[in-house]
Amino acid sequence: MISDIRVGQGFDIHRFGDEDGRALILGGVTFPGERSLIGHSDADVPAHAITDALLSALQLGDLGERFPDTDPQWAGANSIEMLKAVVSEVLSLGWTIRNASVAIVCEQPKIAPARQEMQQNLGEACSAPVTVTGRRAEGLGAIGRAEGIACWATVVVTR
């Protein structure tokens, strides 16, 4: 019997950089040959957006508070592991994650070929179905000029 339902919205955005030896990672999938993103961790935008959505749903703070970019512990961190840490906390509070819906907005790379693998990686991390969609910004604004990648995520949790 479900007595409580919460929804959470998360957002994340990172700028493209050209740091040597840094790979573009989205939803735990590495994109060889694509421009990478600047970030303290591995800059996995969809993983960050879902993590933020979970924290938001349960009023547990936000990503920046949990994983400060001044903390050397998170330098180059695997964001799927950061997501798993928050999922564990959510589950330990008695909540079940029902699903997550993630919209990645970017001009590059193409999301569709990696969608299934991203959904699998993020779904395993969340112990719930995760839907990933890709959209282009139609040339509008910073994302349209291919300066970075943005992502919106929505999650539903119940207990």
Contacts with Zn ion by CB under 5 A lie at 12, 48
The Cα 37–Cα 61 span in angstroms is 24
Q: How far is the CB of 12 from Zn ion (least distance, A)?
A: 4
Instruction: Compute, in degrees rounded to 10, the torsion defined by CA atoms 34, 36, 42, 45.
Output: -80
The residue whose two tokens read 């929505």 is 154
CB of 148 to Zn ion, least distance (A): 10
Alpha carbons 98 and 94: distance in angstroms, whole number: 13
Min dist CB 103 to Zn ion, Å, is 15
Smaller CB separation from Zn ion, 26 or 128: 26
Q: Residue 48 or residue 115: which is nearer to Zn ion going by CB?
A: 48
Q: Give the dihedral sign, CA 38/44/46/51.
A: negative
Q: Which is nearer to Zn ion, 49 or 90 (CB)?
A: 49
Residue nearest to Zn ion (CB): 48
